[in-house]
Amino acid sequence: MKTRPLTRAERNHNPGNIRRCGVRYRGERRPSCDPAFKEFEGDEWGYRAMFVLLESYRRRYSIDTLRGIVTRWAPPLENDTDAYIRFVAERAEVDPDATLLPRDVRLRAIAEAMSRFERGHEPSPAQLDALDRGWQLFLRDY
């Protein structure tokens, strides 16, 4: 059986393809060998960083809907943002314009759908386990 090559998100343990920036996340590898994207010690740390970043959108920019999140995460200048929103809304079963609360449990489903969109294929059981561990790491801190 032929195995598929790892995606950039998988190689970097960065399921959301978070770009390099000045923010330092727990579990982040520094320096990153990737010239454009962050690298993490494991998928759970990459998922935790996604949750932290999504929470910062709410706190800093008052972005509290799926539509707002995805529009900031994947801006229309670089992405088909409308397709991204439709995909995540359908997969996560979240209304794109529903208000999300702090530590909203729907963020877990949103992050899973976003990472699926970023990766381009279904998550493995190990990736779903890492998602759960990342959610727990996030909840401990926020």
pLDDT along the chain (142 residues), means of 10: 86 97 95 94 98 96 98 95 98 97 94 96 95 97 88
- The structural domain count of the chain equals 1
Residue 29 located in a structural domain: yes
pTM value? 0.94
Residue 4 located in a structural domain: no
pLDDT at position 31 is: 86
29, burial (CB in 10 Å: exposed 0-12, middle 13-18, buried 19+): middle
Residue 39 located in a structural domain: yes
Residue 85 located in a structural domain: yes
Residue 3 located in a structural domain: no
pLDDT at position 1 is: 63
Range of the domain at 32: 9-141
pLDDT at position 142 is: 86
pLDDT at position 53 is: 97
H-type helices in 12-105, by residue range? Answer: 43-61, 66-73, 81-92
Residue 127 located in a structural domain: yes
Residue 48 located in a structural domain: yes
Stated length of the chain = 142
Residue 1 located in a structural domain: no
Q: Residue holding tokens 């314009």?
A: 97
